[in-house]
Amino acid sequence: MARITGPMPLIRKTRPSPLTRVIKGRHSSLDVLFERSYSMKMGEFAGARRRFYFLTQPDIVDRILNEDVDRYPKSDLMGTILHQILGNGVFVSNGEVWKRQRRMMNPAFEFARISEVFPLMMQAAEAMKERLDKVADGREVAIDFEMTHVTADIIFRTIFSEPIPPEDAESIFDAFNHYQELAYIHGVWNMAGLPQALSIPRLRAIRHARNIRGPLARMVRKRFEQLEASPAIKPQDILQSLIDARDGDGSRFTEKELIDQIAVMFLAGHETSASALSWALYLISQDQEIQERMHAETEVAFLSDGNFRPAQFKHLRLTRDVFRETLRLYPPVSFVPRDVTVPEIMRDKHLKKGSAIFISLWLMQRHREIWKNPDMFDPDRFTREDEKDAIRSAYMPFSQGPRVCLGASFALQEAAIILSVIAHNYRVAPVEGHIPRPVARLTLRSENGIRLRLTKR
């Protein structure tokens, strides 16, 4: 059975020089990779002030993420890059601050169970279908924007009990694209040991961060005003769960802390899903056999009245595996950074305190010694015995351990709904000559967008 190979960045034959790595790395973290990167266990790069290690060996990764968690906290590079949007939210915080945030956020994720949010997801998916019906006549569609719109709509409804205003969806999409590029360049600036105060990209990124954080802050302030006017009326949503949350000592989130956590949940809850869904739709546009199989199972899942209900998820095995395979090939967060807090010997390398380790999900999930046909789009690998060891040891698009993504099950259910609605109602075809160019900055996106053609079935 023929399978396609998805778009890849240019892979160099030989290791680039340190200067080339810095220059090329300003564009995308994928641009510093070369052919041997895809079979290495651990690589090393000397920065101006500290050393950086790229790790792909599954047993060591497991130890860092699952066992010695306190010895390898989230890297301060994450805070440097994301502070303007996320503040000190749960995605970037460490130590006791992170533990307190995680305890207080658990009730919010109880609300986010699929039984609670399924109607909201379906409402957003139906709104997406209405938008796509207007352009499903064979014309080019910017599917990456459409996926950003629908996933932002879902998380907006879940957090705030309201659909996202179309103007905010467009504004946030544009602002985050600009912010990604500038914040990533600032991160490279930081790795090079240059003074942060002189970083022009950082100063420019702040303006775009305000365009993302501003609408979220307004919604939080609006809720407080509503509660002051009518204390007895409390919406059942994530924001209210966070407002009501108390730690063991009775403390609650301040308004700024609330905005930090909402920003984390909003960006993590839509940007990563939008990235993966865009790549998934591009891949199935190239593989019509998989697309027809997806349509066939949606014919079973969507009942005679055309509706889809939670009990029907069991019929969407291939649809789920399409998304899982997309997450393997195009992990939205391609590198997981951790700081070294004590000196250590790792694979005969002497790691000093203050060094940084980048766990490379992109390389692990395409590793030549772990996977069969690692660059090939093959959703059926998730049902084959000969791939089980690779999946168990080297598949971790949501990370692992205590800091595993809290929204993993939310994202998987959301993706199954969106992909099934599209596969059920449309044929998806490529745009001739358009090949997306993957770039890894804060998330993995296509530098030149992802454009497809949709026609109604």
Backbone angles phi, psi at 366, to 5 degrees: -125, 15
Q: With respect to residue 6, please indicate whether it lies within any of the assigned structural domains.
A: no
Q: With respect to residue 9, please indicate whether it lies within any of the assigned structural domains.
A: no
For residue 376, the cross-strand partners are 5
Distance in Å from the first CA to the final CA of the chain: 25
pLDDT at 268 over 70: yes
The rounded distance, in Å, linking the Cα atoms of 109 and 23 is 41
Query: If you average pLDDT over each of 101-115, 367-381, 435-449, which comes out highest?
Result: 367-381
Instruction: Provide CB contacts within 8 A for 377, sequence distance 6+.
Output: 3, 4, 5, 6, 283, 286, 287, 290, 325, 326, 329
Ranges 198-202, 330-334, 355-359, 403-407: which has the least confidence: 198-202
To the nearest whole number, what is the mean pLDDT of the chain? 87
Helix (H, G, I), strand (E, B) or coil at 430: strand
Q: What share of residues in the chain are helix, strand, coil (percent, to 5)?
A: 60, 10, 30
pLDDT at 123 over 80: yes
Q: With respect to residue 5, please indicate whether it lies within any of the assigned structural domains.
A: no
CATH of residue 218: 1.10.630.10
Q: With respect to residue 329, please indicate whether it lies within any of the assigned structural domains.
A: yes
Over residues 69-94, the pLDDT tens digits come to: 989 999 877 777 778 888 888 888 98
Q: What would the DSSP string read from start to end of 341-355? A: -S-EEETTEEEPTT-
Q: What pLDDT, on the 0 to 100 scale, is given for residue 414?
A: 93
Instruction: Provide CB contacts within 8 A for 383, sequence distance 6+.
Output: 317, 321
pTM (two decimals): 0.90
Q: With respect to residue 91, please indicate whether it lies within any of the assigned structural domains.
A: yes
Q: With respect to residue 219, please indicate whether it lies within any of the assigned structural domains.
A: yes
pLDDT at 399 over 80: yes
Q: With respect to residue 10, please indicate whether it lies within any of the assigned structural domains.
A: no
Q: Report how far apart, in Å, the C-alpha atoms of 114 and of each of 110, 118, 147, 300, 379 are.
A: 9, 5, 20, 21, 24
Residues 354/411, Cβ–Cβ less than 8 Å: no
Confidence of residue 194 (pLDDT cuts 50, 70, 90): low
Domain that holds residue 182: 18-456
In the DSSP assignment, the letter for residue 431 is P
Residues 238/113, Cβ–Cβ less than 8 Å: no
- Structurally, the chain folds into a number of domains equal to 1
Over residues 321-376, the pLDDT tens digits come to: 999 999 999 999 998 989 999 999 999 899 999 999 999 999 999 999 999 999 99
In the DSSP assignment, the letter for residue 251 is -
Q: With respect to residue 125, please indicate whether it lies within any of the assigned structural domains.
A: yes
Confidence of residue 278 (pLDDT cuts 50, 70, 90): very high
